[in-house]
Amino acid sequence: MPELPEVETVRRGLQPVMEGARILRVETRRPDLRFPFPEHFAQRLAGHRIVSLGRRAKYLTAHIEDAPVLICHLGMSGSFRVEADDDAHAPGNFHHERPKAAAHDHVVFHLQQAQGGEARVIFNDPRRFGFMLFAENGIDEHPMLSGLGVEPTGNALDGKLLAELLRDRKSPLKAALLDQRLIAGLGNIYVSEALWRAGLLPTRPAGTIARRSSKAAQSSERLATAIRSVIADAIEAGGSSLRDYVQADGSLGYFQHSFSVYDREGAPCRTPGCTGHIKRIAQSGRSTFYCPVCQH
């Protein structure tokens, strides 16, 4: 589920509830997610104020007064849900009941909000590929984050940098773009989407768009632009869906996209004038979608 844009959408959804709030109590409903929770996980958070929420690649970070940075990863199926005490007064809730715990609710943060009032932020993760860890010495020192590559947001990732990153690589473009040490935050969906926008075949050896020819320079420029625009558009789409979702049921992290190639096997290519149909292949055991006609 969550690639960079989804994680960013979750961050923006949690921000108004969590920033400035005091953590009253943390419940862990099992000893582990993908990894065991850190020693004294709940005790080290309880009583402290959340200063800010950040994001690095697909990792959420919570910066907390007098506590280590909390790192959260959503894995494949993780999501957050917000329950505010106002929910007890919502239409239809005549008995002021708290919403029931759902299956796979693994962590509950009980918060005293800056504006007054209490809220709960609940982490749900059926597959338990997600995790929560402390970065004792800051996020850049943490082994899971220290090796991450450039963010595809902002202007740092241009054609020149992308060409440097891909130069001499023999792996397919698909694999290179999934490598978090090069570009941090792309996942299986947005790699297919970006390569389609750039008109580049996922199977093409990555190094071939990084040679010192003007044609290669054009390709790396197009790909850098495609990556940045795909990510920016998805964050934008997440932002607009956020308004609806928070009101609806407090759940964050899932929203409807319209993908151009992902999960569109057999459907007509949407490149103007292109007569191709989307193909699906497996690369390193994972699905890749592309148009065999307009991607080269």
Residue 98 touching DNA (CB under 7 A): no
Residue 176 touching DNA (CB under 7 A): yes
> What's the CA gap between 52 and 108, in Å, rounded?
18
Residue 45 touching DNA (CB under 7 A): no
Closest CA to 119 of 81, 90, 84, 80: 84
Site string for DNA, 196-235 (x = CB under 7 A): ----------x-----------------------------
Residue 68 touching DNA (CB under 7 A): no
Question: Scanning the structure block, which residue is given the tokens 């420029």?
Answer: 221
23 close to 111: Cβ distance less than 8 angstroms: yes
Enumerate the β-bridge partners of residue 190.
none
Residue 34 touching DNA (CB under 7 A): yes
Residue 189 touching DNA (CB under 7 A): yes
> What's the CA gap between 218 and 159, in Å, rounded?
8
Q: How far is the CB of 75 from DNA (least distance, A)?
A: 5
Q: What's the order of all strands across the beta sheet hosting 79-84? A: 22-28, 105-112, 118-124, 79-84, 251-252
Q: Which stretch binds DNA (CB under 7 A): 40-48, 75-83, 210-218, 220-228?
A: 75-83
- Which residues are designated catalytic? 2-3, 58, 286
Residue 172 touching DNA (CB under 7 A): yes
Contacts for 62 with CB less than 8 Å, ≥ 6 apart: 18, 50, 52, 53, 54, 69, 70, 72
Out of 13, 68, 159, 187, the only residue in the binding site for DNA (CB under 7 A) is: 187
Instruction: Please state the residue numbers annotated as binding site for DNA.
Output: 104, 127, 169
Residues lying near DNA in the complex (CB under 7 A) are found at 1-3, 6, 34, 57-59, 73, 75-77, 103-104, 126-129, 144, 169-172, 175-176, 179-180, 187-189, 206, 254, 257, 284-287
